[in-house]
Structure 1
Amino acid sequence: MRNIIIYIVFILFITILLPLFLVKGCSVDKETPIKDSPQKVAQNKELVKIYNTKTKNTDEMELEEYLKGVLAAEMPAAFHIEALKAQAIAARTYALNRIQRYGQGHPEHITAPLCTGVHCQAYLTLAELKDKHGESWIIEYWPRIVSAVEDTKHMVLTYDGELIEAAYHSTSGGMTEDSENVFATARPYLRSVQSPYEEGAPKLKDSISMPFNDFVKKLNEKYPNTKITKKNITQMIKVADKSDTGRIMKLMIGDKIVEGREFRALFNLNSTNFKVNLIGDTIQIETLGNGHGVGMSQWGANGMAKNGSSHEEILKHYYQGVEIRKYN
């Protein structure tokens, strides 16, 4: 009988009490790996595959080393260190989100989820940076790039526990754009916000000029028989739809509806926030901002940093409702 009682107590300990002790000993906090943690994607010391758009080869490199080349290519290294840190976290999040979505390869480069071109994120090797900027740049600025990446190691942006699509651009022109007005998909964290500290951005305001006949010729090559003349240009080119931030979503050119992004690409404009003016025999197109306008403005981030904002404050301003977390 005594042996039976001892056996029953042993079974109860194994099946009930021991699991309770084990569960009590495990805590979950903001540093717990996020759902579908990217460390599962980037195994082998976080080696990631990168398609090199110049050599057409697919290379493997450590994620954090890749991010140093991205940061140096995407943002001026002379920017405030807090802006550089914000960019490092955004770039890491963008890369890991891309790896999660296209782990077997992106349709545009099927051997890797990421590439070295602006299609993903621009990337330059240390040798390429030296050729581009010179040895003095490497000495003065490369340590700042390394510091920004290493000081934010493993930090990513999440929304509801998921990696966000951390879109960013050069200069917003004062207001960023809602994601659905550019990428067709509404993201709750990619909402239009003010970006007031962009003074000094080289392409905050810009313009291009061309002879009227060249302008019409280019339009007719893309959209035949537009029948635009100097007399009717204001009637033949009209804004059909504009976002609340002033970016042109659709134009009416003659009897054709043209996407603002398509017009921007046709004339290689800095942004879709533009105005077309006829001055004598010349067409002048004025632009405000540089880039698609969604997510973080890099020049705005630098302005916020110079005005005392931390990288956390910058990121939570441009990406609404996000958390900054470690992914492992």
Structure 2
Amino acid sequence: MRYAKIVFILLVMMAAPFLPPPANVWAEKSDNLIRVGLSGIAPRIEFRVETGAYALMDSATNLPIVQPKPGQLWSIIKSGPNLKVALNGREQKLPFDGPVILRAVDEGLHLYTYNGTKYRGDLIVENRADGVMPINVLPMEQYLYGVVGQEMGNSAPLEALKAQAVVSRSYAMSLKNSLGSFDVGIDTGTQVYRGYNAETQANGDRVVAAVDATRGQIVVYDGKVIRAFFHSNAGGYTESSENVWVEPLPYLKAVPSPYDIYAAQYENQTNGWPSVSYSWQKGITREELYSQVSRWNKKAENNDSLNLINVGSISDIKLSRIDRNGDKDTASGRVTELTLIGDQGQASVYRDGIRTLLGLRSTLFNISFDSTVTVLNGRGDQGRINSLDGSYSAGYDGRTTLVNKGEKDVFLQSRSANRQIPKKFSKVVIEGNGYGHGLGMSQWGARGMAKDGYKYDKIIQHYYNQGLDNGNLSIETIY
């Protein structure tokens, strides 16, 4: 068996004499390379070379396996503790320890297809205990070609695209070496990345131009690259990080974002987008609310950071906007605590968790009930309550009686009209502004600023340093 392995390696090397001397791709990792996890762990992955010369190599031995030709379907398969290579479904007998690397071997454009998407750069297939994991390794600028337009939109003004390029580069740089064997993913968990496919979209050349114009530039605060969070639309005001998540960061402070309204004024509206990123409305029935609470509780059973919501029949929902310090409302007016009140107690959800619970675009909202009434108390003071269930009314003779005992609805009469409302709400209507967590740069705010003549550096100063020119924040070129 050992003899067969040696013969196989020699035959492969003879069949591919053009291959460069063995080299470990990890040894070449530098500041301008990024590692992108293309998917989770799977039993196998498949790819095709599209353009350019590649070599498939075994990283454990630094020896070439084969030269994949354009159009061929290759698979890397988890087989026991090892990896197997297959062409068009036919497995080769020789196993490899891995990682297996699909590596470009000369200059020029190199592309391969994985999972329906074309990618530049190299492909590393890691050997994990329970499967294989594909990782795209490529220069940072080429990675950004596939990110900036997907996040900002290819049609955005050039200065907004430049701002997104610098922000996305900074965010990616801040994540390097923080996730193990890869730095970023391909979805909103980090940044949306669509590989070379993004470059071929309409106006993709504008994105490439914006990335190239800001090559190597990152945002630095007090000498450190910032975790440059961004979102779609702030709804008029961004928020400080401690009022959305936990950690207070000096470059994520609340600032006015008046240009967010540009989304509502944008001439190319498609099914209400992007106007609904600025202002929106959502109705939730009582049944839908219970379903959302149930989904939340299922997550909470396996997540100690989430509290269970067991309040029985819900009669009211209270909102608080108090900031993390507990002494004033949040600068943006975002909700920081939502309390569900029921006949078995009450439970609260905090800050950005509120978006998850109710499926909202942001936490900048108000809520109304179809059961809300304006009442007078015993002192003649006027107030609004959201539930008449269990309430008593007082007659002229001083007697009190349970409101519409035994019925689900109440009938209200005024001088001008009569109406029927439920004693407990059957539906709530949530009216809000903004889309996303509200931290850092508002993308539609940046687009509006750029349209009004602001340069990309001023946009970045506004959102990450409150528009101050005090030397704390700078844009540095690192390569």
TM-score range, shorter chain: 0.7 to 0.9
> Paired residue for 1:96?
173
**How many Å separate the matches in 2 of 1:84 and 1:51?**
24
On the 8 A contact 1:219/1:226 being kept in 2, the answer is no
**How many Å separate the matches in 2 of 1:174 and 1:141?**
28
The residue correspondences of 1:290-309 to structure 2 (distance < 5 A) are 290-309=435-454
> Paired residue for 1:275?
366
What code does the residue aligned with 1:46 have?
N
Find out whether 1:211 has 2:362 as its counterpart: no
Find out whether 1:111 has 2:181 as its counterpart: yes
Deviations 1:185-214 (A, max 9, x none): 111121111111122422111112233332
On the 8 A contact 1:114/1:120 being kept in 2, the answer is yes
> Paired residue for 2:10?
none
Q: 1:318 aligns with which of 463, 466, 473?
A: 463
Q: 2:155 aligns with which of 78, 92, 113?
A: 78
What code does the residue aligned with 1:97 have?
S
On the 8 A contact 2:243/2:351 being kept in 1, the answer is no
**How many Å separate the matches in 1 of 2:39 and 2:360?**
23
Q: 2:252 aligns with which of 190, 206, 217?
A: 190
> Paired residue for 2:191?
121
Q: 1:144 aligns with which of 206, 217, 229?
A: 206
Of 300-309 and 252-261, the range deviating more from structure 2: 252-261
The 1:44–1:190 alpha-carbon spacing in structure 2 relative to 1, beyond 3 Å, is closer
On the 8 A contact 1:42/1:48 being kept in 2, the answer is no
**How many Å separate the matches in 2 of 1:251 and 1:262?**
9
Determine helix, strand or coil for the equivalent of 1:59. Answer: strand
Distance apart, 1:241 and its partner CA:
3.8
What code does the residue aligned with 2:196 have?
L
What code does the residue aligned with 2:336 have?
M
Determine helix, strand or coil for the equivalent of 2:352. Answer: helix
**How many Å separate the matches in 2 of 1:220 and 1:126?**
41
**How many Å separate the matches in 2 of 1:82 and 1:124?**
22
Where relative contact order (Cα < 8 A, 6+ residues apart) is larger, the structure is: 1
What code does the residue aligned with 2:224 have?
E
The 1:44–1:176 alpha-carbon spacing in structure 2 relative to 1, beyond 3 Å, is closer
The 1:224–1:90 alpha-carbon spacing in structure 2 relative to 1, beyond 3 Å, is same
On the 8 A contact 1:53/1:117 being kept in 2, the answer is no
Find out whether 1:178 has 2:178 as its counterpart: no
Determine helix, strand or coil for the equivalent of 2:336. Answer: strand
Distance apart, 1:238 and its partner CA:
0.8
Determine helix, strand or coil for the equivalent of 1:239. Answer: strand
On the 8 A contact 1:155/1:327 being kept in 2, the answer is yes
What code does the residue aligned with 1:290 have?
Y
The 1:153–1:302 alpha-carbon spacing in structure 2 relative to 1, beyond 3 Å, is same
The 1:240–1:162 alpha-carbon spacing in structure 2 relative to 1, beyond 3 Å, is same
Find out whether 1:247 has 2:324 as its counterpart: no
Higher share of residues assigned strand: 2
Count of aligned positions: 268
**How many Å separate the matches in 2 of 1:63 and 1:177?**
29
The 1:278–1:77 alpha-carbon spacing in structure 2 relative to 1, beyond 3 Å, is same
The 1:163–1:45 alpha-carbon spacing in structure 2 relative to 1, beyond 3 Å, is closer
Determine helix, strand or coil for the equivalent of 1:114. Answer: coil
Q: TM-score, normalised by structure 2?
A: 0.53
Distance apart, 1:124 and its partner CA:
0.8
Distance apart, 1:117 and its partner CA:
1.5
> Paired residue for 1:53?
39
> Paired residue for 1:29?
none
Q: 2:29 aligns with which of 12, 32, 43?
A: 43
> Paired residue for 1:162?
224
Higher share of residues assigned helix: 1
**How many Å separate the matches in 1 of 2:28 and 2:286?**
53
Of 271-280 and 146-155, the range deviating more from structure 2: 271-280
**How many Å separate the matches in 1 of 2:311 and 2:220?**
49
Structure 2's unaligned 5+ residue stretches are 1-26, 41-114, 116-132, 264-273, 298-308, 323-329, 371-420, 466-471
What code does the residue aligned with 2:138 have?
M
Higher Cα Rg, which structure: 2
Q: TM-score, normalised by structure 1?
A: 0.76
